[in-house]
């Protein structure tokens, strides 16, 4: 059966199959749309404000912490969380870590660094919102981002923040972490431990990385290592050096990703509508289908 690598849940399911994942951590849960669909025995949800009542979803192996990710990791470090069913024996680690919290470089990078202490050699990370669709989407303050988009006369509420800087920081400061950014669907970056590559740092400091704009990100697009989502099986677990392994037209892949995703969504919608129409046309209900058959005959012979 073909894997769905365009959706959050499809990607997490694929990753969990690669390392026989048992323990899952999700940072930034909101309504729980992704979290509740993840099929693993032990799951931890971290969010300062859940948009649901955790008591309605209590079951063995599932834990909810309505605190910031900084506090969560601090409590883990201090052994101040009573999660006996997951964390015996110690030291404990997670198999899949999904980082989808605050869409800022500062927070997403800190979440990644903190999660490293609870990762093993086969841990897989999925970081959301790593390639903004335009300069407005890349503004780290959501309110400002949406205001400026409206002032520019643009539709939509796209907001990714400057999480892309986290990928650039990992490129420079964590050569033992390989990664690729999936284009198609919602762009996300997948990371894994591998033999340290000989990739050369592109920036002088974290301060410089923090100062980069959306257009700088396009300039250094190869460092984002963008690939088509269906190419993931060819790259996962390899030791990658974007300078050698990324496509020469990486910037173009990032720029066109949002348009391709929307076209894909429209195609799926059209296929669904066509299937429903065909189902009605082949229905045995004469009262229902007679008008439709007449209309179909008229259209085809118009």
Q: What is the pLDDT of residues 71-97, one digit of tens each?
A: 999 999 988 887 765 555 667 899 999
123 touches 94 (CB < 8 A): yes
Single pTM value for the model: 0.83
Which range is most confident: 85-99, 133-147, 203-217?
203-217
Model pLDDT for residues 162-180, shown as the tens digit of each residue: 999 999 999 999 999 999 9
The angle formed by the CA atoms of residues 191, 193 and 195, to the nearest 5 degrees, is 130
All domains in the chain, ordered by first residue: 8-254 (3.40.50.150)
pLDDT digits 0-9 by tens, 96-132? 999 999 999 999 999 999 999 999 999 999 999 999 9
Which of 220, 244, 225 lies closest to 236 in space, CA to CA?
225
* Cα 204 to Cα 5, 110, 148, 246, 279, distances in angstroms: 35, 19, 30, 22, 61
């Amino acid at each position: 059966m073909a894997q769905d690598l365009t959706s959050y849940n499809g990607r997490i399911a694929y990753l969990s199959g690669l390392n026989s994942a048992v323990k899952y951590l999700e940072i930034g849960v909101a309504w729980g749309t992704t979290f509740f669909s993840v099929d693993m025995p032990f799951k931890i949800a971290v969010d300062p404000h859940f948009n649901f009542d955790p008591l309605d979803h209590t079951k063995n192996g599932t834990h909810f912490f309505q605190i910031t990710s900084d506090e969560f990791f601090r409590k883990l470090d201090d052994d101040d969380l009573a999660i006996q069913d997951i964390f015996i024996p110690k030291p404990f680690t997670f198999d899949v870590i999904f980082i989808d919290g605050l869409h800022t470089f500062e927070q997403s990078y800190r979440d990644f660094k903190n999660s490293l202490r609870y990762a093993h050699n086969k841990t897989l990370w999925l970081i959301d919102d790593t390639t903004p669709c335009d300069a407005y989407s890349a503004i780290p303050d959501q309110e400002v981002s949406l205001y400026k988009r409206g002032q520019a006369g643009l539709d939509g509420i796209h907001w990714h923040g400057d999480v892309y800087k986290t990928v650039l920081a990992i490129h420079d400061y964590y050569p033992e972490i390989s990664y690729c950014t999936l284009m198609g669907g919602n762009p996300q970056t997948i990371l894994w431990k591998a033999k340290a590559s000989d990739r050369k740092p592109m920036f002088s400091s974290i301060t410089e990385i923090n100062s980069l704009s959306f257009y700088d990100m396009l300039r250094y697009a190869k460092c984002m290592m963008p690939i088509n989502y269906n190419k993931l099986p060819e790259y996962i677990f390899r030791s990658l050096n974007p300078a050698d392994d990324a496509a020469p037209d990486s910037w173009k892949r990032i720029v066109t990703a949002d348009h391709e995703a929307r076209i894909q969504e429209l195609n799926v919608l059209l296929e669904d509508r066509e299937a429903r129409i065909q189902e009605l046309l082949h229905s045995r209900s004469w009262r229902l289908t007679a008008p439709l058959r007449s209309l179909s005959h008229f259209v085809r012979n118009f």
